[in-house]
Amino acid sequence: MPARLLPSRLAFAPGGTPWSEVFGDVYHSADGGPGQARHVFLGGNEIPSRWRGRERFVILETGFGLGLNFLATWAEWRADPDRCGRLHFVSAEKHPFSATDLATLHSRHPEFVAPSQELLNVWPVLTPGFHRLHFDAGRVTLTLLLGDAFHCLRQLNAAADAVYLDGFAPEKNPEMWSHQLFRALSRLVKPGASLATWTVATAVREALAATGFATEKRPGFGRKREMLAGRYQPSPRVPRIGQPPEIPERRAVIIGAGPAGAAAGERLASRGWEVELIERRPAPRPEDSAQLAGIIHPVVSRDDNIVSRLSRAGHLYALRLWCALAAEGLPLRWSDCGVLQVARNPDQQHLYLESTEELGFPKDYVSCISTEEAGPIVGHHMAAGGLLFPAAGWVNPPSLCRALAERHKDRVRVRFGIGAATLERGDGAWIVRDARGAAIAEAPVAVLANAFDATAFAQASNLPFRRIRGQVSFIPVSDLTPPRLVLCGNGYLTPALEGASTLGATYDFDDDDPGPRVSGHESNLARLESLLPGGSAGIDAATLTGRVGFRCATPDRLPLAGSLAVEEETLRLRPGQLRDIPRWPGLHALLGYGSRGLVWAAIAAELLASQLEGDPLPLESDLVDAVDPARFLLRAIRRGRL
């Protein structure tokens, strides 16, 4: 069973200092949290002087707590005219507060009223895993690692410049000050990285010294006479996290301007890259998007497996991104109306109930509702309940692509009706050529985001994709009263958009027919019956309109996100680990999204941009490996198939 995330409860010590009932200790000095943050953590790490003149500065914290260290650091960054270009703050927290409790705690510190409200506006639902939050137009990034600190740090890929070693007293919470945790930290910091903490306990100093941190005592804050500050002096034997290769220019050409490519363009442009998006299809007309809604919701499994964790990360990150796009007035059409995953039978309903109870997810993420509860929520008589995702919903994909491209329109150029046929590497750049051999684009970095068409390029020709036809049907409101939220299960049904609900979708293998068929509408009406028994009555399949799209799916139904392997060289070397596989320099893939493109697109784009920039990664290491494009090649080598 995966570990449940247990939120912290609001409590105070007799003197009014916030108190942890779990650890029996205060969250910060009784002399004041902001003062402690500035003296111990910023001062002990010589901030802001150490970030000045830097493009990027990364801070790693071992206990987020109330978030006062983050708020104080962010406030200092905003006030410093010579600040670094981008600030990354990565913080682990085993028992996070709810947004409501954080608001109560932050109200005691009026100097943080503005940044606190911005933080609370995007505070994540309290689920295990990594949560990436962006502020100040993406120049400040907070990555929250919710879960046990040691486990989270072992899953983190980062190279920190400074460490805030924070936590409850060593005698109250010894795991946070252990040799094992400091050894995990030592893998995540740069040589010469600074460290600061409020404790000078002998065991802490010895454990830090044993893992490469040279420390010294300095005057403490308030009633604490001393604190520790130090620097990391690595042993050559300590494994280092690899850094991305130097890129001479921050320019990229992305082949494919759908959700995958548009998201990649937006994430790179947010970091100052110049991006060219090439799309073989003509520019969409406004009427093309009138009746098209794709759905987004995560997967829930009893064992919280790789698919569930990755879909949770992608779902939550996408929703935050879409909220930001809408708040900026960009042309995004979407709704977080909710999604009900309808149980097929009583056994599945029971499984849903057991899973949600055992996982302990908050109800603002998912809950299991009964048949009786489902009817009023859906607005229809229901034959079954299921899993309710209250913040999930639908989005109009063409409007999403348009909003992503327009967010940084001074750095993103979209070219429609341009067919890319070949890729070749020359003089440190990738040259994209059309079918006649004419060069149509060139950049140091190339990203394939064109689904199954990517296999036409020699560098991606052996990727194991299936091309799957999917037909959706549009059900006019005159034929069926639309549900109030999205229904899914054996198919899906959306609320009305432009006078019709979207119903789908077929799953047709080895079928390249691009046009809707009556048989496809009939198949979709059968799906409607499984969601809303009796809902298809009186609907004539021959009168329906619809659309056809083609999914690009991988054998394990997970996307490809990362650099592409050089297959010939890999087969010669026969490496045993993903990190040892030779890669094409500057060639990356965002492919194989299957039926969950809207779930994968944003987080995969953020992962790729982070890899290219050398930022802390937004996903756990095992999830990064799970989407590595080279995984199928490595599996084939290990199984003796190549």
Instruction: Decide if pLDDT at 17 tops 80.
Output: yes
Q: What share of the chain is helix, strand, coil (3-state, %, to 5)?
A: 35, 25, 40
Instruction: At 569, list the tokens.
Output: 């060289």
Residue 24's SS3 state is coil
Give the span between the Cα atoms of 132 and 158, in whole angstroms: 14
Q: How confident is the model at residue 422 (pLDDT cuts 50, 70, 90)?
A: very high
Q: Which of 562, 554, 567 is nearest to 621 (CA)?
A: 562
Instruction: Decide if pLDDT at 286 tops 90.
Output: no
Instruction: Decide if pLDDT at 246 tops 70.
Output: no
Give the span between the Cα atoms of 234 and 160, in whole angstroms: 13
Instruction: Decide if pLDDT at 2 tops 70.
Output: no
Beta bridge partners of 394: 295, 335
Q: What is the pLDDT of residues 325-368, one digit of tens each?
A: 999 999 999 999 999 999 999 999 999 999 999 999 999 999 99
Q: Delimit the domains of the chain by residue range.
A: 19-232, 251-283+398-465+555-638
Instruction: Decide if pLDDT at 236 tops 80.
Output: no
pLDDT number for residue 189: 96
The pLDDT of 457-478, averaged and rounded, is 95
Instruction: Decide if pLDDT at 237 tops 70.
Output: no
Rg of the Cα atoms in the chain: 26
Q: How confident is the model at residue 494 (pLDDT cuts 50, 70, 90)?
A: very high
pLDDT number for residue 426: 87
Q: H helices of 509-642, where? A: 518-531, 567-573, 597-613, 621-626, 631-638
Q: Which of 323, 475, 308 is nearest to 387 (CA)?
A: 308
Instruction: Decide if pLDDT at 1 tops 60.
Output: no
Q: What is the pLDDT of residues 56-104, one digit of tens each?
A: 999 999 999 999 999 999 999 999 999 999 999 999 999 999 999 999 9
Give the span between the Cα atoms of 31 and 53, in whole angstroms: 33
Give the span between the Cα atoms of 381 and 378, in whole angstroms: 8
pLDDT number for residue 222: 87
Give the span between the Cα atoms of 340 and 71, in whole angstroms: 37
User: Which CATH class name applies to 251-283+398-465+555-638?
Assistant: alpha beta
The DSSP annotation for 474-525 comes to EEETTTSPPPSSEEEESEEEEEEETTEEEEE---EET----S--HHHHHHHH
Instruction: Decide if pLDDT at 238 tops 60.
Output: no
What does pTM read for this prediction? 0.96
The DSSP annotation for 373-440 comes to HHHHHHTS--S--EEEETT-EEE-HHHHHHHHHHHTTTTEEEEES----EEEEETTEEEEE-TTS-EE
What is the CATH topology of the domain spanning 19-232?
Rossmann fold (3.40.50)
pLDDT > 70: what percent of the chain?
A: 97
Q: Is 555 exposed, middle or buried (0-12, 13-18, 19+ CB in 10 A)?
A: exposed
Beta strands in 256-309 (DSSP E): 274-279, 294-296
